Amino acid sequence: MDGTALWRTDGTSSGTYLVRDGGLGTNSKFTPRYMANVSGILYFVANDTSTGGELWRSDGTSSGTFLVRDIFPGTSSSGTRNLTNVNGTLFFVATSPETGTEVWRSDGTSSGTNAIELVPGTGSGGGNILNNVGAKLLYQAILPGFGNELFRLDGPNSTPRARLRYCSG
């Protein structure tokens, strides 16, 4: 094992062990980052030999650590970031060729990981700041013709509420 890897620890030397190294050896770009705990599952962004930076999950075991979905297929990165837990649902920002940059939600499965499109098609609605406020997701997005706006999702399967307030600048 060389390069950057995912480790697990209980705080003791004997309780510290390698979970996954990405299989890339010395030049590993696996580099787990942007982590969020959702109901005891660690979600993070990492690379492997066939994807750019994409969404992964781990239950703390090697066999329970895997790519959730290759959002931007191939070796290009989806730019996944801002992982946020809201009542057991993971929300994050990512870019795909089909949706542009949007807020996404995931239940931890590939089929349950989808964009919440504010701007249909390849136009981007963005999503720069995600916050869990009172068990609701509040986030900032940029809409064509309006600029920066604040949106709210009330639950994991809800649709974004209309602009809450115009944010100038």
Which is more confidently placed, 7 or 168? 7
Cα separation, 62 vs 49, in Å, equals 17
User: 71 pLDDT exceeds 70?
Assistant: yes
Mean pLDDT of 31-38: 93
Residue 161 lies in a domain: no
Cα separation, 79 vs 137, in Å, equals 20
For position 12, what pLDDT does the model report? 96
Residue 73 lies in a domain: yes
What's at 156, amino acid-wise? P
Residue 163 lies in a domain: no
pTM listed for this prediction: 0.86
Expressed as residue numbers, the domain containing 93 is 6-153
User: 2 pLDDT exceeds 70?
Assistant: no
Mean pLDDT of 93-122: 91
- DSSP states of the chain as a string? --S--EEEESSSSTTEEEEE-TT-GGG-----EEEEEETTEEEEEE--SS-SSEEEEESSSSTTEEEEE-SS-SSS----EEEEEETTEEEEEEEETTTEEEEEEESSSSTTEEEE-SS-TTS------EEEETTEEEEEEEETTTEEEEEEE-STTPPPPS-SSB---
How many domains is the chain built from?
Answer: 1
For position 167, what pLDDT does the model report? 46
User: 169 pLDDT exceeds 50?
Assistant: no
Q: Which of 9-13, 26-30, 43-47, 104-108 has the lowest mean pLDDT?
A: 26-30
Residue 104 lies in a domain: yes
Q: State percent of the chain over pLDDT 70.
A: 86
Mean pLDDT of 51-76: 93
How would residue 1 be classed by pLDDT, with cut points 50, 70 and 90? very low
Residue 122 belongs to domain with CATH number? 2.130.10.120
Q: State percent of the chain over pLDDT 90.
A: 48
Residue 169 lies in a domain: no
